[in-house]
Structures are given as C-alpha cells and as structure tokens.
A and B are shown apart, each in its own frame.
Chain A
Amino acid sequence: MEFLRPDGLPDVLEARAAHPGALPLMGGTDVMVALNFDRRRPDALLDLTRAPELTAWDHVDGMVRLGAGVTYSRVIDELATELPGLAIASRTVGSPQIRNRGTVGGNLGAASPAGDSHPALLAGFAEVELASRDGVRRVPVDEFFTGVKQHAGRGDELVTAVWIRPATGPQQFSKIGTRNAMVIAVTSFGLALHPDREQVGTGLGSAAPTPRRARDAEEFLGAELDWSARRDIRDSVAAEFARLVATAASPIDDVRGTAAYRRHALAVMARRCLSWAWAEHQGRRH
C-alpha cells in the first residue's frame, strides 16, 4: 500500500486527482479500524495531516469556516459559544482519545448515518465545502448525504471545510446509547432555533439510510412558535412537533435497537430538546 504525504492543500488536491483509489486519512479513527480489521485495503492512503489549511477555523463573511481537520476537542474548547449544537454533539463522540484525533470533516467523509456531528450540522443549515484541483464548491449538508455511507463529493474532491452560521438562538443535541459514554448512536437528534429568521432546524441521526432533517416538523414549529413574545409552548404543539420528528424517520431494527424504539426515542428527545431550547430562548434556566 502506498502512503502519499503531500505538503499543503494544493499538493493534496493534486494527489487526490492523480490517485482516485487513495483513501484520505486525517485522524484515523474510522480508517485505521477498517484497515486493522481487513475491511478495506485501498491502493494508497492519502495523508492529510501535512495540509495546515485543513486544521484551521476562521470567520468569513459572517460565517464560521471550520476546516475539515479540526478535531472534536477543539470544537468543544474553541467553538462552544458560536456552534453550541455541534459542541454538544462533539462531547458525545467516543472517548477523550478519539475526540483528540477525530474530526468533523472525517465524520462527513465517512457519511455514516450514525455520524455524531451530522444532526447538528443539519439543524444549523451548514454547507459542506468540496475542493478539487479544478475548483471549490459548497453543498448544503442536507443534499450532501446521498446514501448509506455515500455523499455528493466526486472522486477527485475532498471535504475541505464546513460553513456554518454562528448560532443566533439556542441549539440542542441528544444522543441515545445503551451505556453512558463511548457508544455509537442508537439514534440522535439535533435542534437549532434561528430566531433571526424565525426558522427551526432539525437533524436526525441513526434514523434513516442517511442523516436527514424533519422538514414538516421544522415548518410546523417555525410557524407555531411565538418568536418575539416568547410565550410558553402549548403541550399540543410540543407533542405534534415530536410526532412529526418521529414520522420523519425511516428507522430499522438492528443490533443496536429496534425501529420502534428509535421512533419513540426521537419523539422524546425532540420534546425535551425543544423544552430546553425554548426555556433558554425565554431566558430561563433549564
């Protein structure tokens, strides 16, 4: 197996185009497991760690441009205020060691339906930056996931960053696991309130072949919430929101849980996340 170690992003993209069979490697938390268990034997590995452009984040045009190689630990330490949903989700990833190595860009590249960052990115209306030798484009994250572990990037493209608007309202994330740490999501839910545009964002994880938004739930809740007077949410509204979230899922029975449990848990998480987020919007402790 060849090990490609280009210096800097331009050379990385050259190598990506020249070696379509090369598997990009950043933190290694997914790739090394696949290699060690003989599940993947790519022709080459493309080492991304020598491209400093990937490991930086910055403010550009009023958005956070999060380099694909920024680790979960850094998201937690440096971006908890601006990207609270993603920070909460990052805290639920694996162990401290995994969070020190794993990256949001790697999560997107793997495109697992269970990826912990995806619901928060969906709820935050994020965009995925894809770059190749021939140029850069941005794809809305809810168009990025195209199938189980498949995404919209071409073979010569690389996920180089995620663009997210800093939070203008409360964000929440909940994840179900059958132990209290270091667990892959049985199912997960992200919620973002966007009071500036009176919109609600949602993201569902481990609930369908791809991470997805619950658009009916978003539209329903966006219209029902009393954004300016911030009046309490009626129980019937919260219940209908939870029901619409559960309805948006297409879960399966598998080794981690049943479809019925996943739907049930999504409804519970949706209701709770909404109550916490709205309490914060109202200026109450939750």
Chain B
Amino acid sequence: MTGFETVAGVPSATTATGNTTTSTVDGVGTSPLRPDGTLKVAGEFAFASDLWMDDMLWGVTLRSPHPHARITGIDLTQALKLPGVFAVLTHEDVPGEKHFGLEHQDQPVLAIDRVRYQGEPIALVAADHPETARRAAQRIKVDYEVLAPIVDAELALRPETPRLHEGGNLVRHVRVRTGEENPTADVVVSGAFEVGMQDQAFLGPEAGLAVPDGEGGIDLWVATQWLHVDQRQVCAALGLPPEQVRLRLSGVGGAFGGREDLSMHVHGCLLAQRTGKPVKMVYNREESFFGHVHRHPARMHYEYGADRSGKLAYARATIHLDGGAYASSTPAVVGNAGTMGLGPYDIPNIQIDCFGAYTNNPPCGAMRGFGSVQTAFAVEATMDLLAAELGLDPVELRARNGFREGSRAPTGQLIDAPAPVAELVEKLRALPLPDERPDAHDLRHLPGGVANTTHGEGVRRGVGYAVAYKNVAFSEGFDDFSTARVRVSIAGGQPVVTVHTAAAEVGQGLVTVEQQICRTELGIDRVVVAPQDTSVGSAGSSSASRQTYVTGGAVKAASESVRRLLLTSAATRLGRRRDDLQLAPGGVVLDGSGTVAITLADLLGDDHVEDTVEWRHRPTHPIDPETGQGDAHVQYAFAAHRAVVDVDVELGLVKVVELACVQDVGRAMHPQAVVGQIQGGSAQGLGLALMEEIQVVGGRITNPSFTDYLIPTILDVPPMPIEVLEYADPHAPYGLRGVGEAPTISSGPAVAAAVRAATGLPLSRVPIRPGDITGTG
C-alpha cells in the first residue's frame, strides 16, 4: 500500500546514565510484535463492550432531545413499574459532587433543572435486560420548557447574549502580543477560514462495568485514556475516597481524545451502588456521537505581512472556537490554538486573540491535534496566499520562514532542540511525483471510484504542501508526571520483568514501548506488562503525544533504579564494589573483566527487586495573560505533508492520489509503530479536509451514524511515502519526540491546498464538500 518508508537521520545524541546495558533483542529502536497484536488480529481481544458478569444489570441513559430547555418536571412512575427494572436515578440520587469536569467543574452528572445540549444525560435506568432498560427510559416523563439555543460562538460572546453559565459565555481568551503594535509590510494577505466539527470516530463505543465490592466501595472496568483523572471525578461524585473507587483499564477500541472526559463512569457506578449489582453500560453508535466531546469547530481570520523577499513581517489572527455546552478541555485547546496558532514560522510582530465560548452545541474538547489542527488550516492557506502574492514557490516561502533551532515561538520561548522545518518541506519537494494517470481504465484510481462518475472527464490534478508543529505533553505549568513500577523476579529459572503503570493503552502501542525500554535498560527479554489500574500512581493521560515521552521516561527511570538495586545487591553478595559490576543481556552480572560474576537467578532466587518512580519532564510555566509570553511548552513535534489530488471539477469529487509525509520523531522507538501513527494521523487529517463533519443545525446533530458521518475507506486513503527523521531532542528520554498528533495536523491542510491548486478556488472551509467545488453548495 505504501510507497517507501525509511527511517533516516542522525543517531540519538543522548547517553544513558550509569552502567548501560543494551539488549540486542526487541529493545528500543526495533519493531517487536505487540503483546496484544495476535489477539486483536484474531478478533479475540476483549474490548470494554465485551465485559460480562453473569448476574449483571444493564444501564441506559435518558438524554435530552433539546439543545436548550428548562426541565419543569420528571416523573419516573411508569419507568419504575416496568418488570425487570432495578433502579431509576436522577440528579437527586448523586450522593457527592453533582458537577464534574476536566478543568472546570461545570457539567452536571445528571441534568439539574436545565439542559444545555442535545443528548445531555437526565436520568439512568438499570434493568435485567438492555431492551427493558431502554423501554423503561422511554417511559420516563420529562417536561421541558424549550429555550432558544445559542449556536454561534461569536454571538455567544456578545454582551446582550443570555448566559449559559454563571460566569458568562467566555471559557477562555488567550492574547499573544509581540513586537510593534501597528506593524506594516510590503505585501499583505488575509483570509477568513472555517473548520467543521470533527469526531474521533473511534470504533469501540463507550463501555464499562461497575462492580460493587459489598463494603461500600466499587471497582470500575472502563475504556478510558486517563484512569486517575476519571478516578478523581468518580470519587467526587460518589462521595467516596480513592481507596474505595478502583479503576481498571478495559480494552480500548481507539480514543483520539474522545475518552479524556467521563462517559458512563459515574452513571454505571451510581446504578451499581444503588442496586448492589454489577452494572454494564455500553453506548450504541448513535449514542456514542452524543456521549463524547468532539473537535472544536473554528472560525478564524488571518492576516500575514511580508517583505518582497518573502520574509514574514507580522501576523494577526482572531480565532473563535465553539466549546459547546460545557468546558471540558476548552481552556487548554484555546491555549494551544492561541500560543501555536501561527504555524512554525519566525514572525517578529504578532497579535493573536483566541476565544473559546460556551454555546448550546455539542460539547467539544480533546481530539488528536488539540487546537493546532484548526489553526493549521488557516495558517497554511494564508501562507499559500502569500506565496501566490509574492510569486514564490510555497515550499520556498515555508523554508525561508520556518523555525530552526534557536527560533523563538510566539510565546517568546526559545526553541532549544532541532526544528527542521526547511528540511521537511525541501525533502518533500524532492520526492518524485506520482504518475499523471496510473491506470485510467481502473475506476478505483479516479475520483468517485467504482461509482463510475468519470472516465477522466473534468479531472484536474493539484499539489499542496503544509507543515505542522505541535506541543508534546501538557503545557502551561501543569504538573505532568507519570509513575512506573518495575520489578525483576525469577520465573522458571529465568529473569522476568514486570512493568506496571496506569498508562492507558488505547491502540497506540505503548505497552510494546514499555517492554522495549525494560529490555534495553535491564537486558532481560521477558517483560510482562501488568494490567493498568489505579493501584499504581497516575501516568497522566494517553493524549498530547505524551505517553512514550512521559510514561516511557518513568519506565526508563524505574528500570535504571532497579538496575542499580540489582547491582547493589550483587555487590553486597559478592563483596565487591557496585561500580565494578554491570548488568548484561541474558540476566547476568558481569565483573570488570567481563566474566559472569553471578546470574540474576542465583542472586534473586525467590526474591524480587522492585522500584516505583514518579517521573517528570522539565517544568513548563503559565503564559502572561496580557502578552501570552512564557515558557509554556515542553517540546515540539514537526511534520510536513505533500498531497497530490485529482479533482473532478464538474462533480466536486476528490481522489487523493498520494499523501507524502516527512516527520522528525527524535528517535524512532518502534519504527513500525511510528510509521503506523503517521499513516493513521494522515488519514484522519485527510478525513477532516474532505468528508468528516458532525453536522449541527440549530444545536442538533443531523448525522449521528457511520452512514452519514463519513470516514475515509481504503479507496480514499492513498499510498503514503513516509520519511522519518531522527534528530534527537537533548531534553527527552532517548531523544524521542511524541509522534501521534503532528501528522494529523499537516495532512488536512496539504490536501486542502492541493484541491485549491486543482480547482483554482479559494475553498476557505473544511471539510470541502462537492457543492463547494461546483458552486452549488
């Protein structure tokens, strides 16, 4: 499927500390099989929707049909009368805090007197059969006084607009100012851009099983991205201490940000606590569209000025993000869009205003790319306008202005690691272009595919480029740590490592990377990844491209500690100095002459060595509220794409012919998984450019299904030549950079640019619909 894939670049500049041992088998930099790979391919992996206990009940959620209404009455009588129903709950049954939220505690566990979006949970039912539970939910009588919904983020911020929350409709405003107040330039371009609401479209719906322990506490198996932030919120809502609320990761079928917020967690626990029975909840596909946050839709106005040589002089941007009914992670998304909203380019004079607003639209929060996806569409389109105005090649303009090591971000932060923007785009330009028309008689190569809409008529080719940069890990002073417990013991006469974290494996392959790090650091091939749960400290979220960096860093640190403990133990046993010994592959301790001094099997016997390490990346800092200045981010990831498309300009149908990517990953910990992340991220970005949109009319979702929310199929995803660069970040473990998000950011803008090139149309809104190209939108 793919063209060529290479992993090239310079070796990692980092050196491990202490007595380094390297395992030659399946360690860092190789591509071993995933521990869960065979089960997943064979269809035998247990996802959260497969959870089962023989005496369990089924929970369902009654949701609001209205985007905005007052609740004037709830009558549960008829629901409770239905045989098989065990409990029907409303907000009155929430024993603890009645509101939750990732950053602002603004969202009711169950609606209290008012609903602010279509699909807001109002009541819960537990019954002995899911159909019974659904029927009972339909019998709950809710009286509404329907209110006019506020569905426009800019209108929501006007003073005369009614307030959806006590503090008003502004969730956050980020203001960035550098340089002159009224800069001028020889050449000025501007444009207004819009990005529709994308969905994570993970295949495994929200699901979990809550099991009461008979002593007032509860165990919750759930598909999530961040066990500990869930635990904090569940504890608050249940009014229970953490030791009584134990979360365990169930099989996660994709996440992409959509599982950072709570879904069924508190609801399932409330029903289990009330009934004293295990309660399973699983959303169907339609409910899933109402059961998690989406990517913020954006409206953006951009203006860039440059001198005649193409050197950027200034940039102005106003960005409105629609946060929907509740805050979720809108403040952080606004932070990203605000501080990184001008692209990876050196610009001396900057004015950015980025707003996140409450509306009655579906709540929006985390999704892969997190604020940078939206702004990249505006940035890269504006750069192309500038290139056209200057008569410059779009690659040349980007190469001349791109960040380098030593550049200053809009926040004033020094970029103190490689930032090879010019190299990324120049490498892309140097790649050969695909054939003009590979096989005109195979409809699969044409826009429309086998739907037989063209045999070449109306087809025009276009090429487009885009660059992405993205902060890795959490920013703006967040205490962003991970915890890893590593143990070495002997099983069957051989050493085995057990690594235990709470880091969510959501399909990205973190469990494989944890194994690789243990192998490399301890020289022991057998590594067992313990089930992820809250009995070990927080790992933070599986988001922000951060887990390989942060949990990888914690596993590395814990492995190093265990290595020291093993050598100390060996030194004591053998009566030698620790520094004279080293741990070698195969589970042996060598002395200074390279002779085996003792095997780990002999050293440990039935004993084990273990340590738990809480690991932090270097600290970040808040930004100044007036100027946006501050060292807000840990690390940046860089990627760039070149898209080649064929557009049927008469029908508005697009075939992406090729989507090439060059990305700097610092160190390819698992080269095959790196390429997989780039392919997946590129496909997700392509989807937003051409088809993926939750359509919302008057606050209501009109396409909550995979029939009408379209994601790319194998006939939409083209060959992807991928080149992976490894310029080590000296601050990061192994020199690595987070991989997952950057390709999602640049692929869509590259596709959009290519469609503009093919059609000659401005196409300022994504997804680009056929009607936008044919002028019949």
Chain A residues near B (Cβ < 8 Å): 36-38, 88, 91-92, 172-184, 186, 255-258, 260-261, 263-265, 268-269, 272, 275-276, 286
Contact = CB atoms under 8 A, between A and B. Distances in A.
Contacts of B707: 184
Given A255-B695, A255-B702, A258-B777, A179 B455 contact: no
Contact of B451 (A36, A177, A261): A177
6 contacts: A174-B452, A176-B653, A256-B708, A260-B771, A261-B771, A275-B457
Contact of A180 (B447, B651, B769): B447
Interface stretch (B219-227, B348-356, B498-506, B710-718): B710-718
B2 interface: no
B453 A179 contact: no
Given A38-B134, A174-B451, A181 B771 contact: no
A179 B712 contact: yes
A179 B452 contact: no
Contact of B457 (A37, A182, A184, A272): A272
A262 to B, nearest CB: 8
Contact of A257 (B449, B452, B771): B771
B450 A181 contact: yes
Contacts of A182: 713
Given A37-B284, A268-B650, A268-B651, A181 B702 contact: no
B448 A260 contact: no
Contacts of B265: none
Contacts of A176: 448, 451, 453, 651, 653, 770
A268 B651 CA distance: 7
A91 B453 contact: no
Across the A-B interface, the 4 shortest Cβ-Cβ residue pairs: A180-B449, A260-B776, A181-B715, A261-B771
Question: For the complex, would chain B's binding face be called helix, strand, loop or mixed by DSSP majority?
Answer: loop
Contacts of B713: 179-182
A261 B715 CA distance: 23
Contacts of B452: 88, 91-92, 172-175
Interface in B234-290: 284-286
Contacts of B770: 176, 178, 186, 257, 261, 265
Given A37-B284, A269-B651, 16 more contacts: A175-B448, A176-B651, A178-B653, A180-B449, A180-B713, A180-B716, A181-B450, A181-B714, A181-B715, A182-B713, A186-B770, A260-B771, A264-B774, A265-B774, A275-B457, A276-B455
B325 interface: no
Contacts of A183: 451, 710
Nearest to B712: A179
Contacts of B284: 36-37
A92 B651 CA distance: 17
Contact of A178 (B444, B458, B715, B769): B769
A37 B286 contact: yes
A255 B716 CA distance: 20
Contacts of B715: 179-181
Max chain B C-beta neighbours (<10 A), residue from A37, A178, A263, A265: A178
Contact of A261 (B454, B457, B708, B777): B777
Nearest to A260: B776
B703 interface: yes
The secondary structure that dominates the A interface is mixed
A258 B776 contact: yes
Contacts, number: 103
Contacts of A36: 284
A259 B286 CA distance: 26
B691 interface: yes
Contact of B716 (A181, A261, A263, A265): A181
A169 to B, nearest CB: 17
A179 B710 CA distance: 7
A251 B286 CA distance: 26
A149 to B, nearest CB: 15
Contacts of A275: 457
Interface centre among A180, A184, A258, A286 (most CB of B within 10 A): A180
Interface in B706-747: 707-708, 710, 712-716
Contacts of B453: 174-176, 269, 272
Contacts of A186: 770
A91 B442 CA distance: 13
Given A176-B770, A260-B776, A261-B771, A255 B703 contact: yes
Contacts of B712: 179
B655 interface: yes
Of B454, B651, B655, B707, which is in contact with the most chain A CB atoms at under 10 Å from its CB?
B651
A261 B450 contact: no
Contacts of B655: 180
A88 B451 CA distance: 8
| Residue from B452, B695, B703, B707 whose CB has the most chain A CB atoms within 10 Å | B452
A266 B769 CA distance: 17
A263 to B, nearest CB: 8
A179 B703 contact: no
A268 B453 CA distance: 9
A260 B775 CA distance: 9
B19 to A, nearest CB: 55
B104 to A, nearest CB: 32
A183 B453 CA distance: 14
Given A257-B771, A272-B457, A179 B450 contact: no
Contacts of A181: 449-451, 713-716
Interface in B745-777: 769-771, 774, 776-777
B747 to A, nearest CB: 16
B708 A179 contact: no
Nearest to B441: A285
A76 to B, nearest CB: 10
B763 to A, nearest CB: 15
Given A37-B286, A179-B713, A261-B771, A91 B776 contact: no
